[in-house]
Amino acid sequence: KTGDIHHVEQRRVKCPPEVPSLFESNYVRTARYTKFNFLPKNLLLQFHRFVNCFFLVVSILASVSSISPVGALTFWLPIGLLLSGTMVKDAYEDYQRHKADVEENSRTTEVFNPTLGDFMQVTWREVAVGSIVRVNTTHPDTTPLIPADLTLLASSAKAGTCFLETANLDGETNLKMRESPSETHQRLTTFQEGASHGELNKANVRKLALKVVCNPPDAFLYDFHARMEHDAIDIQLGGGHLLQRSTKLRNTKWIIGVAVYTGCETKIQMNMTEPPNKITNVERRLNFWMLYLFWGLFGMALIGAIGSVVTVIAPETGSGAWYLVPEQPTATFNPDRPVVVGLLGFFSFLILLSLFIPISLYVSMEVAKSVQGLQINWDIDMYHPETDTPALTRTTNLNEELGQIQYIFSDKTGTLTQNVMEFRKCFISGVSYGFGTTEIGLAAALRGANVGTAHPSQVEAERSANPEKAQYYRDPAINFDDTRLLGRYNDKHEARDKIEMFMRILSVSHTVVPEGDPADPKALIYQAESPDEGALTLFAKAIGWCFCGKTSTHTTVKVHGADEVYEVLNVNKFNSTRKRMSVVARTPEGKLVLYCKGADNVMLERIAAGQPEGELMAKQLQLYATEGLRTLVLASKDLTEEEWLAWDAIHKAASTSLEDRDGALERAAELIEKDMIIAGATAIEDKLQDGVPDAIATLAQGGIKIWVLTGDKQETAENIGFACRLLRDDMTINYINGADDNEIKTQLRECLERNADCIGKENEHLALLVDGKSLITIMADTVLTADLLKFATMCKAVIACRVSPSQKMQIVAMVRHGVKPEPMTLSIGDGANDVPMILEAHVGVGISGNEGMQAVRSADFAIAQFRYLKKLMLFHGRNNYRRVATLVQYSLYKNILLVSCLALYNFVNGWSGTLVMDTWVFSAYNVLFTSFFIVIYAFLDQDVSVETAMANPQLYIPGQRSANFNSFTMSVWVLNAVVQAALAFGLPTLTFAGFDDSDKNIYGVIVMMGVVITANLRLVFISAHISWVSHFIAALCVFFFFAFILVYSYGASFGYWNFSGSGTKALGSAIFWLVGLLTFVAMSGIDVFFIYLHRHMHPNPVYVIQERDRGHGKSYDTENGTSTGMEGIPLVVSGTSS
């Protein structure tokens, strides 16, 4: 991390700023282009695609009239349309970025002018590193947004603090507190007697001279390690002193700060990176087939070149076409120069047959996927009205990947659960307070799990439960109704001191920010960085310990109406590694006390030995976990003045360290967070989201393996697994949770030995539960990792508990790169700690939840609730995979169909390198005759209804097996194209062979008519969802063909003589209609025959369900998933189904 500024080049910021500035300006630009570089840069980017480069070369070759059998415009027009269309799209998108940039850079703020001795309004782009900036929430002409990354110098609050809303930065709406150094705050601020806000001392601002030495710009949003040199003293600065660009000042009249990072070097800009370019499975297969097509094209061109050489060298014996010999040798027909003839012939056939590579494919895919993305965004079934959140497609390139997922890796909190925390119970001095249980607890009890037996006193207390008497400040949102807790405190029960310590920890050791009038506790609203802290602080307020506010050094708590002020001397912050937070405070009685709360597994290791209630609490924590409750342990430690002074010196040294400051602070905290006295434990409920059990069960029926990766303890994770139907009673759960390395290795070995007969295949009745500590041992050894993967892939469900964000990513990477062939993976989460695993998976899905938007911003798709994943995958994903697979194969098919006709024509015509039809008719094939229907198909076709797709998740399995796009299906499409091409060429050729006055243009039109009508009809035949739109588009494409040849017949009026009158002559010829009808009927008859044969003799599950939905099926066994109609064909998805 860049927090170590001792070993990296330090940034030295002077205030007032240096002129000219040595740093980046504050101008930001997200636009990719300027008006000067747009054309060359955009073209360069487009020609990174090999297909575009290929067609550019072919177009250049086609411009050489001596070797090109077609007009150059035939190739320049399609590639020109392709490039210009992409340019228009890119230009529009970049114009929108330019507009946003102008708006951003034109915002106004105030910067101190030393010459004037006052602040002046400037635009954001004029702010420089070292500038003193004032942000005001009451000024009508300036915005309360922070214009650059600022180090806070002073604020209008007496304590020198301010509050930021960071939604623009991380998506979190809760307020974050920042504090200014007391040295600068006191110097720059003056307070009048009785005034609630301070005034800025501009005279002292004018005299201000300081230097900030900080780490270079980095992308870590909250990391800031610096020191300020001011009045010959060094002031240490951290993340709590940094105001990030684009955050919003709240609940503070004004602040001033010095700009340390500007423009593209600010935290928010450093995080605006392009998402990783993910290549889909379909695209990888397409690239593989493209290589075959290129080799096939070059091979056919080479054969054509050899044929042309043979024809030239021996016209009488080679082809019998003696009439082709010109009076004077030409470059392309010179028996004395066969090498030149062959080379020119190769290029001629390369140009002629280049349509083998479908240039329109990528355009069609981009258009279709864009519309598919909009369909996902507009799906009302995936809209969450409570939060006004629709589904969001952030990467349309991955639409079809959603239909091939084999593994889902899911976070728990906020993803499977609501992340809306409700305080349920607590344990203090050997007694559990709070009644009832949770849905998870009820499910556990039904399975026979021990959820605790109520003590007779608790049963009696529950009878007299009364939330009005149980809470001092009644909060309807808190369902705590156990009157014993407050009653024992008021009655001076022997547990009173423990209760008081418990409540003090909840009300003092936190990072909550209050909003509202402290004089009215019921009106106070708490802004918390995590839902857990908010729930705990609200509970403490309800019991009578109302947190009213804090300064940089003091915290005020209103205890049953009386104010208590605690001097906060040190704070040891929470992070995902420490899993705890503590403060050293001087109590109102003058005592020094350490208040600490954290996860039970780390807290129990730091509790002083010999406490009798420790064993009782451990048992109660197990019972809470069985109910699915999230638990924290609270503890305290009395300190002597000498102990604190000695430790405070270590802590201060760590906080001012220029090398590994975070590590030094953690090590300092370890020295004091030990031998603590138990205060109690809390139990919070995080309810499951609606529809989660059904979604997981349905996805599992679709052949998807679901792994839950959570930081919760084992019992909680296991019971959540049962509650959401990931685990079932008929499953055998295997545990890997050993206390040491040897036990972990033994457990893993026994898991493999017990299930040796299942190695290499999945067992519906196997599940695995592994903890984070065991994963540390396993992941450090490649052999153990391979064994874990071997066993985990045998299991239907896997739960990893007590895992860190990095371990989540390791698990995803282990499956993605360890299982062969590589499976398609999807990670879903809602918080910043889920970002690593979201980025590691093939597809990332973010939940728009209560932990900010970082997961959404890193994901490919975003939804508001986990249950929406069911429709996203089983309906949208499955359909999009089918559609894109068909789009790719159809695009290749229709081009191979046409090119095969050209190859056959040249084979029987002396390898002349000529077209069977007119150049412009040939060019319009991909542009007008066959391009629209497939794009419409690619976002409208739907083989079964939404309800049927949801009710039959087994239909998802073919996508996992790439059943719709593989070597076999592609070969069938290619073979079909070749056979139909033989008919399209052969039938007109044989017919016209008997006519002496045959017209080549009419002959070519008949061939083209058969190809156009057959190509469009094939798409009609395979469409499962025939609507008026598809009928209309198919008819329109065929209409375009006839209209084109009719209009083109009058080409002489426009200077085109080659086809003049041919169209009208063809349309007025009986032989044209007779042969044309015979040709396309024969060609389409092949499709009709094989589709009929497949549907009635060997139907796949989709066909069975379609017939059932139409009322043809007799019955359907939903329990066993089989159909007993349709000649008793079972609904079982086979590997070859499509």
Residue from 411, 532, 771, 830 carrying the catalytic annotation: 411
DSSP annotation string for 909-977: TTT----SS-HHHHHHIIIIISSHHHHHHHHH--SS-HHHHHH-GGGGHHHHTTTTSSHHHHHHHHHHH
Query: How many CB atoms lie under 10 A from the CB of residue 189?
Result: 23
SS3 content of the chain, % helix, strand, coil (to 5): 50, 20, 35
Is residue 1117 part of the annotated active site? The answer reads no
Taking a C-beta distance cutoff of 8 angstroms, is the pair 152, 257 a contact? yes
Taking a C-beta distance cutoff of 8 angstroms, is the pair 464, 482 a contact? no
What contacts 196, CB < 8 A, 6 or more positions away?
none
- The DSSP call for residue 608 is P
Structure token pair of residue 983: 């008919």
Structure token pair of residue 911: 């390898």
Taking a C-beta distance cutoff of 8 angstroms, is the pair 903, 300 a contact? yes
Rounded to whole angstroms, the Cα distance separating 250 from 165 reads 7
| Antiparallel, parallel or unpaired: β 392-393 and 189-190 | unpaired
Cα angle: 264, vertex 266, 267; to 5 degrees: 125
Rounded to whole angstroms, the Cα distance separating 1067 from 1045 reads 9
Taking a C-beta distance cutoff of 8 angstroms, is the pair 161, 180 a contact? yes
Q: State the number of CA atoms in the 13 A half-sphere of 523 facing the CB.
A: 5
Cα angle: 763, vertex 764, 768; to 5 degrees: 75
CA distances from 173 to 143, 163, 246, 248 (A): 18, 12, 13, 10
Sign for the CA dihedral angle at 24, 29, 30, 34 comes to negative
Residue whose C-alpha is closest to residue 585's, from 525, 699, 508, 476: 508
Query: 16 preceded by cis ω (within 30°)?
Result: yes
Residue 60: left (phi > 0), alpha (psi -120 to 50), or beta? alpha
CA distances from 1078 to 717, 989, 994, 1013, 1083 (A): 68, 13, 16, 12, 9
Residue whose C-alpha is closest to residue 521's, from 569, 474, 453: 474
Taking a C-beta distance cutoff of 8 angstroms, is the pair 526, 537 a contact? yes
Rounded to whole angstroms, the Cα distance separating 692 from 670 reads 40
Rounded to whole angstroms, the Cα distance separating 587 from 110 reads 42
Rounded to whole angstroms, the Cα distance separating 724 from 848 reads 20
Residue whose C-alpha is closest to residue 1049's, from 1089, 1011, 1005, 1009: 1005
457-465 long-range Cβ contacts below 8 angstroms, 24+ apart: 458/432, 461/435, 462/435, 465/435
- The DSSP call for residue 1112 is -
By CB atoms closer than 10 A (0-12, 13-18, 19+), residue 1020 is middle
Taking a C-beta distance cutoff of 8 angstroms, is the pair 424, 632 a contact? no
Rounded to whole angstroms, the Cα distance separating 105 from 477 reads 44
Active site residues: 411
